[in-house]
Every structure is written in structure tokens, then in C-alpha cells.
Structure 1
Amino acid sequence: MMMEDKKWFKQKKYQITLGIVLLLVFGVGGYAFSLYNSFNSALDNIHEPINKTDKRENDISIKKQDPFSVLLLGVDERANDSGRSDTMIVMTVNPKEESVKMLSIPRDTKTEIVGNGTVEKINHAYARGGAEMAIATVENFLDMPIDYYVKVNMEGFKDIIDTLNGVTVVNDMDLTYKNYHFPKGEIELNGKEALIFSRIRYEDPRGDFGRQIRQKQLIQAVLDKGTNLSSLLKIDDILGNLGDNIKTNFTLTEMLNIQKQYKSLNKSIEQIQFEKGNGGKEAGVWYYYPDANELSEIKQTLKSHLLLK
């Protein structure tokens, strides 16, 4: 799900700029000024810096088109609850090759939780120590640096969809969850329905892998809906929801450089998934165990894409 979220940021910012220009052309300068202030306020709320990874010998620069990595965390975070990362997607971006590789990590993967001194499900890392512990754990699991992160509160994600008056997706499998039925084919979803659709797990024989497909569909649907003119009229509300539900260590300058230089990268995304592992229970807890050879191959693929040894 993480290149799509980064695309989300880029496209929203592009829409804001276009919206301001249109408003100025029509002489509504006062509203444009208000919108600009909302934009800056949202960026202040979104930006949450963390310590730089110690797996990099040298600093990287998006402006200079250095390859970089991003960890997308889809977090189920509610009041008085630190939450767990239901979605963990690692993306590597190589601007000079004009390519992106995207890996979804099964949430039940058994691994060391770096900084906590335990071996448990990888999605527990966020609950134990927030974004920084999640990043450190993923870095250890894949033996590679994580340069940036984007955290999305999935509970608040429905507010953004409702602001857009719902989204349309093409469901590839007939699914039912309690009183909710999602038939195969094109379906319309409001915010609550989209959230349930993104969380279905046990009712899908593909488990986590099926859920990852649906989450990607929803992100793409939001991007598609957000590019139409009617959404520009709601951009103030969208910005408010973004600021409340998304955190990232990307700076404004880095986001501007991404928007400027990497517009076509979304057309060349290679999806990578774990396919050879297996699952089992330990003391009543279900874990996913990656295949050692497949994990080694994935590590090498991602590191090579980052031009690392």
C-alpha cells in the first residue's frame, strides 16, 4: 500500500496548487489565502521527524535522485490505544531506473522486535515502540535501511473517503463480513464500508494477501476520485483529515522534489510478495514463517534496487 500513499500526498499537493491558481483567476483571493494557510497547517501536523537510520553510511538526497526506501504503516489506532500496524509495505525507489519495487510484509510474520528484546509478530513492533521501533524491526528483518516512513491511521481513513462522497472499486471476490456483503464486480463504498472492506481477513481464503490487494485498490480509488474538480472544492476538509490521520518524516522540500521529478514512477511498480512461507501455532498464537531462501532473495532484490551490496 505505500507508493500509493506517497502518490496520494503528491497528487493532493498538486491539486492544492491548481486550486489556488483557479481561485486567484476568479478573483477569490481571500479564500485562496485561507486555503494556503490550511495547507501549511496540514503539513505541520503531518510532519513527524525521526532519527536517521544507522544502516546508511552516507546521507541520501531525493533532489539528486538517489535511490531511497519508504515504509508504509497502516495503523489501527483508536482513542487510548497505541494500535498495531495492520499493514506494513516497504517500497524501494530507483529514480534513474524509473522503477519502484513494493513488498507487503504479512502482519503475523515472526521476527525479532528490535529494541524490545522479544521475538513475536512483526506488527507488534509499532504497538511496542511506535514508528521508530517498527522501522528498526523492518530494517533488521530485511537487512536494509528504511529512509522514510508514512503512517496512516486506518480508523480516520474513512473520514477522507466520506469527504469524497465514497469511492468505487472493482472487487475480485465475493465477500461477506457480518451484515456487510461485497459482491464481485464494481462496487460503491462509503467510508465505513471501505474500512471494513480493507480489514476483511478470515473470510478471504487468501488471508493477509487478499487484504493487501483490497487496501491497494482503495488507495488507488481515493487517488482517482481525488483528481476530479469536485474534490478541489472539498480540499480544505481533505487537508484537515490528512493532518489528523497521517504522519511522515518527508519534509515539504522532499515532497516538492518528489512531485517534480517522479511523476511517472507509479507506472512502473513491481509488486513483490512472500509466496513460499507457511504458518503455524505456538502456544495458541498463529505465526507466519517466511521461507528462508525466498526471504534471502527478496532482501537481495531490494538492496540491489537501492544500489547496496
Structure 2
Amino acid sequence: MQINKRLRRWHKVVLILLGILILVAAAFLLIIWHMLKGAADAMYEPLPNKMEGNLPEQQSFPFITPIVEKKNQAVTAPTDHRQPNLAEQPPFTLLLIGTDERPGDKGRSDSLALVLVQPRSGTLSLLSIPRDTRTEIVGHHTVDKINHAYAFGGVPMTVATVEQLMKVPVHYYVKTNMNGFASMIDLLGGIEVENSHPFIEDGISIPQGKVTLKGKEALVYVRMRKQDPNGDFGRMQRQRQVLQALFSKSVQFGSASRWMDLLEQLKDNFRTNLQFDDWQELMVHYRPQLQQVEQHVLQGEGRMINGIYFFIPKEAQLKKLAESLRNQLGG
């Protein structure tokens, strides 16, 4: 009898301990969830439903499946009408904008890349757009370098200009200050790339071959172009390398404490119209595509116009790329 009583007592103790552990784990997960949501809400900046001020309304793209309006909205602003319902796993576009903002200077877009995620084929297509691309700046009534759109009208004008150039809608954007980009790479423990041309820039030496880059080194790596025999095209190739390495490293990131530091960096240096629910859907349904990247670049030629260097895209390839993007989006 005494043995049975002791066993029952131990069973109760074990059950109580298990209950406490479950409560602690649940509380920890709840804290993490609130921190993730807080970071997502802090980064969230919606695109206007219509271009404000002197910017025109967004173009209508009838070949796109009608947008499904979301029920859940972030606390910072209403849902942007252009966003698809990621729970249904549609293809979508995302514009990556790297800026060179400094205190007191809005800066320009230092890098632009249009990403198309296609869950049916399991691919992510990344199109690098040269910063000197000569195009119409939508809402500014000028023809200029595409990276000036950010200086003239911020993210909305940049998005509208890329939409005009590529003739496809931009569903989402992610904007980062390039200095924040470097801090994020440091938190991830660096990234590995294959460098085809050794160079020294700003006192930092990048050798040829396979190298692991820390944040400042990665920043130099994606910005250098004067020493590259391929000029801006070589620079864009290095940017694509770094983006692909960053995608791969981020989806493998596992340390909880480092995730907290990473969230702080994201809150300070990143802005996007992706909401908290969107991030969850991306990680659940689109995670494999983040590691399968097809890279493309605009073809064209450099030309001096009124003493200013421009990149002039080839119309035939531009038209072909735009048509391919539309077809993948359901056009």
C-alpha cells in the first residue's frame, strides 16, 4: 500500500512538473510571437492605394487574378488593395530597394531588384535593374536614371516607375538602408560568395575565390564597380550573389537569442508592405522557393546623353522579359 501511495505521489509530482514546463514553453512562445508581430508592425509601411500628390493612379492590370481582401490588418495602417492572398499561394512580385540614405540626406536607390515568386514551378526569379537605367520617372514628368525616382518620390514613385518600365504590378516591396543590410549579415555570421575579381576598396581587400564576408566587407562587395571589368553588370552580379547567400542563410537561422537581435535590426533598417500574416504565409508556403533562385539582368548599352551616363535597355529583351513576367503572374 505504501509503495502504491508513493507511486501515486510521484505521478502527481511528474504531472505538475510537466504542466509547469508546458506553461513556461507556452509563455515563451507567446512572448516570441508578440515580438515577431511587433517587429512586423514596426516595419510595415503600406503603399498608397493611389499615388499621392502629383503622382498618377496606379495602372490597371486586367490579367491579374482579382485581389482577395484580407480580414486581418496590421495596427499601423489599412491593408493595401494591391496585395494578393498569400494563403492561396499565388505567384507574386516583390521589389527589393537598397538605399544609400544618410543623416539629413534621403539618398537614392543604390540597388533595385524585381523578384517574382512562382510556387507552382517552385522558382524565385530575380531581375536586377541597373541603377543608371534611363526611363520615365512616373509622377515626376521626366526621363532620368531610375534610381532618382527614390530621391524624387520615395518608395511609391520607385514602385510606380518600375511598374511602368516592366509593365507588371509590384505587389510588395522591401526597402533597406544598406548600412542595416551590413548589420544583418553580421548577425547571420557572415555569408559565403565566389569572387571572380580580387580588389581593394575603402581599405578592405576582397581576394579571388570563395570568401566569407562580414557586414562591411559585403557592403563593399556589392557597391564596388569602378574596378570591375564588367562595370555595373559585374556589380549587379555580385549583388545577386549576396542576395542569394542572404536568402539561404536567413532561412537556416536557428538561434533564438540571435533572432531577437535580428528583429531589432529589421525594425530599425527595413520597411515593407508585407504584414505579419504575410510573413507567416511566406515561411510556411514559400520557404523552398527562397533557396531556388533564377537570376536575370536587363541587357542594353551605356550611352552619354548631355554629358550624363545612362544605361539604355534593349527594347526587344525588355518586352520579352515583361511578357514572361506577365505570363507567370497569370496573364
- What is the root-mean-square deviation of aligned Cα atoms in Å? 2.3
Name which structure has the greater RCO, CA cutoff 8 Å, separation 6+: 1
Q: Is residue 2:44 matched to residue 1:47?
A: yes
Aligned length, in residue pairs: 283
Shift of 1:214: 1.9
Report the AA paired with residue 162 of structure 2: V
In structure 2, the partner of 1:283 is: 306
In structure 2, the partner of 1:264 is: 288
Q: Distance in 2 between matches of 1:26 and 1:183?
A: 51
**Alignment partner of 2:198 out of 165, 174, 179:** 174
Q: Is residue 2:91 matched to residue 1:86?
A: no
Q: Distance in 2 between matches of 1:168 and 1:84?
A: 27
Deviation readout 1:208-245 (Å, 9 max, x if unpaired): 2222222233234444544254x432211110001111
Between 27-36 and 204-213, report the one with greater CA deviation.
27-36
Q: Distance in 1 between matches of 2:28 and 2:313?
A: 53
Q: Distance in 1 between matches of 2:291 and 2:259?
A: 25
Deviation readout 1:100-127 (Å, 9 max, x if unpaired): 3221111100001000111100011011
Deviation readout 1:72-94 (Å, 9 max, x if unpaired): 11111111111211111112223
In structure 1, the partner of 2:159 is: 135
Partner SS for 1:93: strand
Alpha-carbon spacing, 1:75–1:209, altered in 2? closer, same or farther (3 Å) = same
Q: Is residue 2:327 matched to residue 1:304?
A: yes
Between 66-75 and 110-119, report the one with greater CA deviation.
66-75
Q: Distance in 2 between matches of 1:54 and 1:259?
A: 30
1:58-69 map, 5 Å:
58-59=66-67, 60-69=84-93
Shift of 1:264: 2.2
Partner SS for 1:297: helix
What TM-score do the two structures reach when normalised by structure 2? 0.78
Report the AA paired with residue 202 of structure 1: K
* Largest Rg, 1 or 2: 2
Q: Is residue 2:75 matched to residue 1:70?
A: no
Q: Mind listing any 5+ residue stretches in structure 1 that lack a counterpart?
A: 1-23
1:226-241 map, 5 Å:
226=250, 227-229=252-254, 231-241=255-265
For the 8 Å contact 1:111–1:141, the answer to whether it is kept is: yes
Partner SS for 1:48: coil
For the 8 Å contact 2:134–2:310, the answer to whether it is kept is: yes
**Alignment partner of 1:148 out of 160, 166, 172:** 172
Q: Distance in 1 between matches of 2:123 and 2:25?
A: 41
Shift of 1:290: 0.7
In structure 2, the partner of 1:244 is: 268
Q: Identical aligned pairs, as a percentage? A: 37
Partner SS for 1:264: helix
What TM-score do the two structures reach when normalised by structure 1? 0.83
Alpha-carbon spacing, 1:298–1:164, altered in 2? closer, same or farther (3 Å) = closer
Partner SS for 1:86: strand
Alpha-carbon spacing, 1:201–1:39, altered in 2? closer, same or farther (3 Å) = same
**Alignment partner of 1:294 out of 317, 320, 328:** 317
In structure 2, the partner of 1:274 is: 298
